[in-house]
Amino acid sequence: MNKKKIAVVGIGVGVSHLEALEKLKTEFPIEISGVGRATHGELSPRAKKAIGNAPIYVGNKMYDLLDTSDILLIATPDKDHYDPAFLSIDWALHTLIEKPAFIERQQGLDLIRLAEENGVLLDSATQMRMHSQGLANLINQYKPESISLTYLLPKTKLNMPDVLPNILPHILSLIPDLNGVEVRDIYQDKDQVNLQLLKKGLCIFAKLGYVPEQMKPERSVTLHTNTGTLERVFSQGSLGGQYQENWFSVEPVINPREALWRNWLQNIFSEDFPELRQECLKYREQRRERIMQEHLLLMQAMGK
């Protein structure tokens, strides 16, 4: 397999991706081609360690990364996703964008269409808070009449002021199949949003938002059946820091960003093998369809 070069634009959340990629170097022939950031400034010790010896490009220089890379992760502020994403896809780089991938309807549709034309893998790096298949298995087993989801994060200076684009992608990531999902009855009050997701007769009530930093975050899922309720409650740190995301996994607990990148890299490297080519292209088509569904549902919720 030929070595693949990965560039990261954005130092905040991008650091977590760099750490995940470092661990995957024992599984895949990858290297970090460079890191792009908007301005000069002191890096945190964690960022310095994650970046290592990779070159740093500042300001418009970060676009030089496109010349030396095969894959681009975009972890800039949401409003700054479009330009690097367009250039990356136009240059036929596989492109992973932190959530929400797009905040404007037409921009999202244009990028998805361009990715299809160029045959590249395009995806949103929504960090899975729960294994979707795990939730699907519970739904199939207990046949709930409705589901209640509570997703309240601590409010910090890093949070976006808008609840929906920051948190709704996580909620959508819990639903394995988004076909037929509708967003209804949205009520927003300052730092919290209540809404309903309807899917083929199943009603999902979701409460999203932020709580003051000193308060405990709350994340829970309750399945309401005709015989009672089944509840799963997330407890801060109960699964050990970086591994706390996997509520319903029956597999060994893993870092979700590592899992995301492992799936991605397996697809990208499979294109080197003719016998895997069709499966590789099918996966890319499925991911483009999924990101399209998530994008349109988010736009619907935001009234765009």
* Per-residue b or e along 138-164, where b marks 16 or more CB atoms closer than 10 Å to that residue's CB: bbeebebeebbbbbbbebeeeeeeebb
Distances (CA, A) of 75 to 51, 72, 188, 194, 272: 14, 10, 27, 27, 27
Detail the DSSP E strand segments found in the chain: 4-9, 30-37, 56-58, 71-74, 94-97, 122-124, 146-154, 181-189, 192-199, 202-211, 218-225, 228-234
Rg over CA atoms, the chain: 19
Phi and psi for 121 in degrees, rounded to 5? Answer: -85, 120
The whole-angstrom separation of Cα 11 and Cα 76 is 8
Find, among 12, 11, 300, 288, the residue nearest to 165 by Cα. 300
The whole-angstrom separation of Cα 24 and Cα 252 is 17
pTM confidence score: 0.86
pLDDT category of residue 57 using cuts at 50, 70 and 90:
very high
270-294 tens-digit pLDDT: 988 889 989 999 999 999 999 999 9
pLDDT category of residue 241 using cuts at 50, 70 and 90:
very low
Find, among 49, 108, 55, 35, the residue nearest to 78 by Cα. 108
Q: What order do you get walking across the sheet with 56-58 strand by strand? A: 56-58, 30-37, 4-9, 71-74, 94-97, 122-124
Q: Which residues contact 20 (CB under 8 A, 6 or more apart)?
A: 255, 257, 258, 260, 261
pLDDT category of residue 248 using cuts at 50, 70 and 90:
very low
Question: Could you tell me which residue, 134 or 229, shows the higher pLDDT?
Answer: 229
Percent residues over pLDDT 90 in the chain: 46
- Judged on CB neighbours under 10 Å (0-12, 13-18, 19+), 296 is middle
pLDDT category of residue 134 using cuts at 50, 70 and 90:
low
Provide the pairing of β-strand 181-189 with 192-199: antiparallel
Which residue segments constitute the domains of the chain, with CATH numbers given? 4-126+258-301 (3.40.50.720), 132-249 (3.30.360.10)
Position 279, amino acid: E
Strand partners, 9: 36, 74
Q: Average pLDDT over the chain, rounded to whole?
A: 84
Least confident of 26-30, 154-158, 213-217, 239-243: 239-243
Instruction: Indicate whether 65 pLDDT > 60.
Output: yes
159-175 tens-digit pLDDT: 555 788 888 887 887 78
The whole-angstrom separation of Cα 9 and Cα 3 is 20
76-122 tens-digit pLDDT: 988 899 999 999 999 999 999 998 899 899 999 999 999 999 999 99
As given in the structure block, the two tokens for residue 149 are 């989801």
